[in-house]
Each structure stands twice: as C-alpha cells, then as structure tokens.
Amino acid sequence: MGICQIINLGELHVPVTTGYCGTFSSYSTMISELFDHSTSTTYYPNRAYGIMEFLSVIVVELTSSMGSLLIGTRFSEEYLTSKTMISFLNKHVYPLTYTLGIPITIVMIVLSGVYSNFSREFLVGSLFSIFGAYLRFYLSKINPKFTIPWGTFIANQFASLIVAVLDLVLTSRKNIVHSKNGRLVLKGLSSGFCGGLSTMSTFMAEGRKIKLTFVLIYYFITIFTSYSLFIIILGSYKWTVGLN
C-alpha cells in the first residue's frame, strides 16, 4: 500500500490497493484480537492487566501498520521510479488478472464443493472475500465527499459488527450451530467477507493524507465504536451466558 501511494500503477492501482492490500489486511480481525486480549479468561493478578493487554495490541498494530506504510512510500521514492516497469505491469499483468480471475473463481467454487478437508474453509472464505471487497469499493466512493473518510468507517464498523455476532454464534456455550457445513459458512463469512470488507491498509493510508487533528478524531471514533460493538454484543453475552 505504501508503494502504491507514490507510484501510479494506472489501471492496476485499484485492484492492488483496494483489492489485494485492503483484503489482505483486516481491521475487524484486529478489533477481535483486541477484545480477546483485553477480556481474556486467563487469570490476571488484577483487572488493570486487561488495560495493558488492550494497549499492547493497539499500539503494536497501529505502529507496525503505519511504519510499514511509511517504509513502503520511502522505498518506492528511492527505487521504484522506473516508467518501464509500470508500463510493463499495465500492459501484461493487468490483462492477466482479469483473464484468470473468472476461471480461478470457478475452480475455487468447484474445489470447495468437492474437497472436505481443511482447504474448504480457506476456499469458502476466499469466495466470500470477493463480495466484501466489492462492497468496500463502492462504499469508498463516499470518502471524497467529506474530510473524514466515512465510507471506510462504515465498512469497518459493519464488518466488526458482523464478526462480533458470528463469534458469538460460533463460540457460544449453547452450541447454537451444530452443522459442520453451517459452521464452515459462518467462519467463511467472518474471515472472508468481513476480512475483505474491513481494511487496515486503507485505514492507515487515509491517516497519512488528512490533517493530524482529523486523524486523531477519525482513529479514536473508529476504534472506540468498533470495540464498543464487541463489548455490547460479545462481551455482554460472554459475561452472562459464557463462551467456549
């Protein structure tokens, strides 16, 4: 993502940034991890250790993500200024992506129906991620209309909401879903659709572009809202009914 902030990939820009980078990095997974660490069932000497876990996760995630973005931008400024390489990518790689896209998707659908081993979860999640990435792409069209990118905000909150609900269903002590295929689909929605819908890379890239005051407000509102959703949905259930 950092590299793509400097060099103009032309027609490949959206597929690489919104498609690959946005799907590869998952904001909803970060919030889920944040919730798990801060409300862990592991015994702590006192409750303040939950705050330390919360801060450790959020500091590491945000600093490593922003640091990677800045390293990528600096690397591209120094070494990736060749117009020949960019021309090659647009001329050969871009047509190859949409030529192979449909056949690969068909193969994934067939394999997810044929194989019943561990690969099925990966394949189902990958198929759901396509729809998540498309929805995020269309929500991103809202971003230029406001100082704060509300399109990305909506995508991240919606994904976090769904992940919280799915985690509740999958880990409830009441065993809400018994079917193996049903659980597989729910896991695919959580890791695939929500992973594709939410994005950490775009979240960081947006923070680099807007003013510091708005960045602080944007980051605080986004993380606070997502974490609150997990506390309300998953936390309240965990502390009353219980999770496995």
The distance from CA 35 to its chain's CA centroid, rounded to whole angstroms, is: 16
Phi, psi torsion values for 243, nearest 5 degrees = -125, 155
Domain limits of the chain?
3-240
Nearest to 198 by CA among 165, 146, 168, 163: 163
Cβ atoms 74, 7 nearer than 8 A? no
Cβ atoms 34, 62 nearer than 8 A? no
pTM (two decimals): 0.88
Nearest to 161 by CA among 188, 134, 186, 190: 190
Nearest to 190 by CA among 28, 59, 4: 28
pLDDT score for 88: 74
Residues paired with 243 in a beta bridge: 172
Q: What is the pLDDT along the chain (244 residues), one digit of tens a residue?
A: 887 777 777 777 788 888 888 888 899 999 999 998 888 756 677 777 778 888 888 999 999 999 998 998 888 887 776 677 777 777 777 788 878 888 988 988 888 888 777 778 888 988 999 999 999 999 999 988 888 899 999 999 999 999 999 999 998 888 888 888 888 899 999 999 999 999 999 999 888 888 888 899 999 999 999 999 999 999 998 888 888 7
Residues paired with 172 in a beta bridge: 243
Q: What is the enclosing helix (H) or strand (E) of 116?
A: none
pLDDT score for 40: 72
pLDDT score for 134: 92
pLDDT score for 42: 60
